Amino acid sequence: MTTPNSGDTVIIDYVLKRGDGAEIGNTAQTGPQEITLGSGQIFPQIEAALTSMAVGDEKSVAIESDSAFGPRREELILDIPRANLPPEPAPEPGMALQAQSPDGQPMTLYILEVGEEQVKVDGNHPLAGEDVTFDLTLREIKQAA
């Protein structure tokens, strides 16, 4: 049985589920994912699972919220003046905006509510505070040269 090692590239399919079992993403939508192990591209728990799998193997990996997308942080829910947004496209709930954090890092804000003068946004990742499960299938191993 050949299993991948750090530096190898793997092709995987996955189904992402919330802690309640609701499916929220999969490679049927995005196509198979190519990941180089040891490069920090994925959660360490998934990488560890993949290193014990052979092509064709399937495995479920549960990740608690603190180790996945982190806890929800109420301080990341902000009201910003609507005048600070470009006029087009008109802001709508669910829309994503690109912004800079105070330390200059890019961040995504999700519009929660639109008022006449203010827009309420959430800087949390949409899955912050959620336990998640990845159902993995290892499709291919490309061994490092």
Distance of alpha carbon 6 from alpha carbon 76, whole angstroms? 35
Length of the chain: 145
State the pLDDT at residue 7. Answer: 94
- At 48-65, the pLDDT tens digits run 999 999 999 999 999 999
State the pLDDT at residue 111. Answer: 95
Is the pLDDT at 1 greater than 80? The verdict is no
The closest alpha carbon to 132, from 73, 46, 48, 58, belongs to 46
Distance of alpha carbon 120 from alpha carbon 93, whole angstroms? 9
Distance of alpha carbon 133 from alpha carbon 17, whole angstroms? 5
119 pairs with which residues across the strands?
A: 80, 114
Question: Residue 54 corresponds to which tokens in the numbers above?
Answer: 């052979």
12 pairs with which residues across the strands?
A: 33, 138
User: Considering the entire predicted model, what is its pTM?
Assistant: 0.80
Q: Tell how many helices (H) and how many strands (E) occur in the chain.
A: 2, 9
Continuous H helices in 6-121: 27-30, 44-50
Question: Residue 47 corresponds to which tokens in the numbers above?
Answer: 């990488």
Centroid of chain to Cα 31: 15
State the pLDDT at residue 104. Answer: 87
- Give whole-number Cα distances, 13 to 10, 30, 39, 57, 122, in Å: 10, 10, 18, 11, 30
Average pLDDT rounded to a whole number, residues 31-43: 94
- Ordered by where they begin, the domains of the chain are 9-69+128-142 (3.10.50.40), 74-122 (2.40.10.330)
Is the pLDDT at 22 greater than 80? The verdict is yes
Average pLDDT rounded to a whole number, residues 20-41: 93
- What percent of the chain has a predicted confidence (pLDDT) above 70? 100
- At 81-135, the pLDDT tens digits run 998 888 888 899 999 998 888 888 898 999 999 999 999 999 999 999 999 999 9
Question: Mean pLDDT for the chain?
Answer: 93
Distance of alpha carbon 123 from alpha carbon 66, whole angstroms? 16
